[in-house]
């Protein structure tokens, strides 16, 4: 497993990270603890050394599983997110410093780490950065040795820019073949400021695997049941055809093409994967490729042009 520089932090991360939202059971339906443990252990065995989670995933239980199965002495890089509260009837955001202090301590306890490698603010609004105490608090955590670096999991380019201006060293952004707006919007500033980038939603919640029929239905406890209307999903599935033009012996699957699209962007420090079992993990790691060029420049250009013709703007 190759490693990449995490911006200007002086740290390195494996090119592929194990994201744990899907594994937690929160997004796609239940996953047994035994399967969660198998996936964590299999990721380590395959050379994955970056693990992405959040304090709210499975009410903190994913942090506990990482703390138990990914000990600090294995050299793994752990990213967690704080700022989402689930202690009420509905989840809500809270970036008050007093709350974040308590949340961070709980994360340290669950992860069994005095120093967390990277802590991200979990999808704050741009207005959250109007409070100067917020970035001051995050910088203080680093100065006190409680985190090695800090950043923001951003839902929009506007939030990403505000985070960088506040001093964020790492940004987590949605980035895939169908969704590259924020990355393109922030590209120049990311490079200029040398900010590390964690690319999430690399397969667009499974859409880019290209395995769904046009009338695909999702279970009620699967977040994708509310993500797309029937017509929107059918349109999105039809827009996968440009990716199929790249299929070859070297690129045998759409998911491999999608992952290599992400990895071919040199701004990306690590592509966050979201497998829910060991079979999915094995497929993703195998088909992501072993070394550059993950997707040749001309193929990227051709793919972009074809996607534009079918209404996808990347």
**Average per-residue pLDDT in the chain?**
96
221, part of any domain: no
244, part of any domain: no
Over the chain, what HEC string results? CCEEECCCCCCEEECEEEECHHHHCCCCCCCCHHHHHHHHHHHHHCCCCEEECCCCHHHHHHHHHHHHHCCHHHCCEEEEEECEECCCCCCEECCCHHHHHHHHHHHHHHHCCCCEEEEEEECCCHHHHHCCHHHHHHHHHHHCCCEEEEEEECCCHHHHHHHHHCCCCEEEEECECCECHHHHHHHHHHHHHCCEEEEECCCHHHHHHCCCCCCCCCCCCCCHHHHCCHHHHHHHHHCCHHHHCCCCCCCCCHHHHHHHHHHCCCCCCEEEECCCCHHHHHHHHHHCCCCCCCCCHHHHHHHHHHHHHCCCCC
| Residue 56 confidence (pLDDT) | 97
- Tell me the average pLDDT across 132-153: 98
| Residue 98 predicted with pLDDT over 80 | yes
Specify the CATH number for the domain of residue 188.
3.20.20.100
220, part of any domain: no
| Residue 18 confidence (pLDDT) | 98
| Residue 73 predicted with pLDDT over 90 | no
- Tell me the average pLDDT across 217-224: 95
pTM: 0.97
241, part of any domain: no
Our count of domains for the chain comes to 1
| Residue 313 confidence (pLDDT) | 75
Domain residues for 8?
A: 3-206+253-301
219, part of any domain: no
- Tell me the average pLDDT across 297-303: 93
Using 50, 70 and 90 to split pLDDT, how confident is the model at 314?
A: low
- Tell me the average pLDDT across 102-108: 98
223, part of any domain: no
195, part of any domain: yes
């Amino acid at each position: 497993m190759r490693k990449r520089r995490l911006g200007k932090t002086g740290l390195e991360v494996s090119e592929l990270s194990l994201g744990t939202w899907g594994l937690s059971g929160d997004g796609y339906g239940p996953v047994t603890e035994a399967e969660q443990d198998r996936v964590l252990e299999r990721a380590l065995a395959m050379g994955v050394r970056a693990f992405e989670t959040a304090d709210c995933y499975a009410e903190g239980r994913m942090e506990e599983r990482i703390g138990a199965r990914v000990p600090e002495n294995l050299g793994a890089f752990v990213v967690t997110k704080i700022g989402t509260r689930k202690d009420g009837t509905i989840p809500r955001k809270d970036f008050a410093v007093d709350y974040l202090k308590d949340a961070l301590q709980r994360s340290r306890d669950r992860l069994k780490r005095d120093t967390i490698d990277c802590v991200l603010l979990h999808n704050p609004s741009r207005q959250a950065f109007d409070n100067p105490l917020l970035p001051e608090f995050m910088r203080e955590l680093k100065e006190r040795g409680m985190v090695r670096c800090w950043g923001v999991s951003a839902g929009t380019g506007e939030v990403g820019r505000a985070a960088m201006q506040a001093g964020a060293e790492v940004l987590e952004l949605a980035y895939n073949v169908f969704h590259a707006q924020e990355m393109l919007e922030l590209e120049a500033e990311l490079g200029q400021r040398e900010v590390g980038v964690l690319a999430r939603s690399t397969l667009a919640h499974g859409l880019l695997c290209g395995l769904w029929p046009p009338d695909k239905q999702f279970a009620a406890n699967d977040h994708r049941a509310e993500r797309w209307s029937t017509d929107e999903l059918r349109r999105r599935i039809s827009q996968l055809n440009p990716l199929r033009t790249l299929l070859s012996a070297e690129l045998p699957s759409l998911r491999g093409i999608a992952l290599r699209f992400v990895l071919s962007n040199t701004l990306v420090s690590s592509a966050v994967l979201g497998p829910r079992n060991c079979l999915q993990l094995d497929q993703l790691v195998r088909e992501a490729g072993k070394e550059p060029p993950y997707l040749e420049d001309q193929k990227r250009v051709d793919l972009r042009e074809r996607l534009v013709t079918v209404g996808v703007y990347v």
